Amino acid sequence: MKTALVTGITGQDGSYLSEYLLSLGYRVVGMLRRTSTQPTARIDHLRDKVDLAHADLLDQFSMVRLLEEYEPDEVYNLAAQSFVPTSFYEPVLTAEFTALGVTRLLEAIRHTRPQARFYQASSSEMFGKVVESPQTEATPFHPRSPYGVAKVYGHWITVNYRESYDLYACSGILFNHESPRRGLEFVTRKITDGVARIAFGLDDKLPMGNLDARRDWGYAGDYVRAMHMMLQQEHPEDYVVATGETHSVREFCQHAFHRVGLDYEDFVTIDPRFYRPAEVDLLLGKPDKARQELGWKPEVDFPSLVEMMVDADVQRYLKAGRSPVRGEIPEVVLSQS
């Protein structure tokens, strides 16, 4: 039985990756930081199947201790300060977590468990102000936020440790991936929860930022398979993981409101507070290398992703005993509740 250490297990990707690794027969050890409240909602259904251990990206020796105790075969570094707007307000803390945290973990692996295979959660935000479209593994980086800059550091330190110390270390350059477990502050989940709240009469408006930003959105459940595949190759390499399609925030709104029989133009307002000091206007990935070398391809397309997320949020309010007051909830959603 292989052991995988997953940092960021309480996050969106951590929960899907853990489910996937458990289904493959792995022992999963999740690293979580100490908090005064329980942040484990996304993994409560896995609590008796995974080991949870306290450590923090800010604390080098807490990670050394974890590696010594659990002796993982694979380490997935998903933990980060991952919200772009927060990185403008807390740029130094973002760098500590998202950039230097990677070096701390790599140093811990180098000294304690050099045979472990390492996955770094790199991001399409590194392409930022894109110099070409679509973006591939060879596209130069031009990050547009302290978060993007920190991820570039995390990416290159992973490459550097691979080249310097012969570690099996790779970076997955993942484009945006979403799910019903996405944090409520990210644009897709903000929209799908907003749609549900409007349908149930809990809100009348949905204030948004830049509706013209375009993203290559996929489903998180598909993307965690690619993470695992990257660690099963003969040689460690970096891969772009994306759908190869791009859609605007406006299109996401259109589809999401349409799912409950509403028109987004009646509810979406523009609030300058949600604009960013520097924007990433367009992301579009070309995942050819992942398709050819890993045999990876996404299963969930854009309309299915939007529907899955709207349906899950609507169901949550139905289960809480709320009744819809606007639009038309699809029969298939009502019948499942």
Q: Give the residues lining the site for ligand NDP (CB under 6 A).
A: 7-8, 10-14, 33, 35, 39, 56-58, 78-82, 97, 121, 123, 174, 176-177, 183
Query: Which SS3 state, helix, strand or coil, does residue 58 take?
Result: coil
Is the link from the previous residue into 134 a cis peptide, with omega within 30 of 0?
Answer: yes
For 217, list phi and psi in degrees, rounded to 5: -100, 125
Choose, by CB under 6 A, the member of 7, 123, 139, 192 that binds ligand GDR.
123
Binder of residue 250, out of ligand GDR, ligand NDP, none (CB less than 5 to 8 A by kind)? none
Smallest separation, CB 52 to ligand GDR (Å): 23
* 120-128, 162-170, 236-244, 284-292 -> range binding ligand GDR (CB under 6 A): 120-128
Binder of residue 10, out of ligand GDR, ligand NDP, none (CB less than 5 to 8 A by kind)? ligand NDP
Binder of residue 208, out of ligand NDP, ligand GDR, none (CB less than 5 to 8 A by kind)? ligand GDR
If binding is defined by CB under 6 A, does position 84 make contact with ligand GDR? yes
If binding is defined by CB under 6 A, does position 190 make contact with ligand GDR? yes
Smallest separation, CB 258 to ligand NDP (Å): 23
For 283, list phi and psi in degrees, rounded to 5: -130, 135
Give the span between the Cα atoms of 128 and 106, in whole angstroms: 25
Give the span between the Cα atoms of 28 and 16, in whole angstroms: 12
Nearest to ligand GDR of 151, 162 (CB atom): 151
Binder of residue 295, out of ligand GDR, ligand NDP, none (CB less than 5 to 8 A by kind)? none
- Among candidates 315, 280, 285, 279, which has minimal Cα distance to 297? 285
Smallest separation, CB 326 to ligand NDP (Å): 30
Catalytic positions, please? 123, 125, 147
Smallest separation, CB 270 to ligand GDR (Å): 9
- Quick count: other Cβ atoms within 10 Å of Cβ 133? 15
**244 CB-near residues (< 8 Å, 6+ apart):** 134, 216, 284, 285, 286, 287
Smallest separation, CB 35 to ligand NDP (Å): 6
Choose, by CB under 6 A, the member of 17, 106, 130, 280 that binds ligand GDR.
280
* 13-21, 43-51, 60-68, 123-131 -> range binding ligand GDR (CB under 6 A): 123-131
Left if phi > 0, otherwise alpha if psi is -120 to 50, otherwise beta: which for 104?
Answer: alpha
Sheet containing 239-241, strands listed edge to edge, beginning at the edge strand earlier in sequence: 51-54, 27-32, 3-7, 74-77, 117-123, 169-174, 239-241
If binding is defined by CB under 6 A, does position 176 make contact with ligand GDR? yes
Question: Residue 34 half-sphere exposure, CB side, CA atoms within 13 Å?
Answer: 5
In what helix (H) or strand (E) does residue 61 lie, and over which residues does it extend?
A: helix 60-70
Nearest to ligand NDP of 119, 267 (CB atom): 119
**166 CB-near residues (< 8 Å, 6+ apart):** none
Q: Which residues bind ligand GDR (CB under 6 A)?
A: 82, 84, 123-125, 175-176, 185-187, 190, 208-210, 213, 215, 249, 274, 276, 279-280
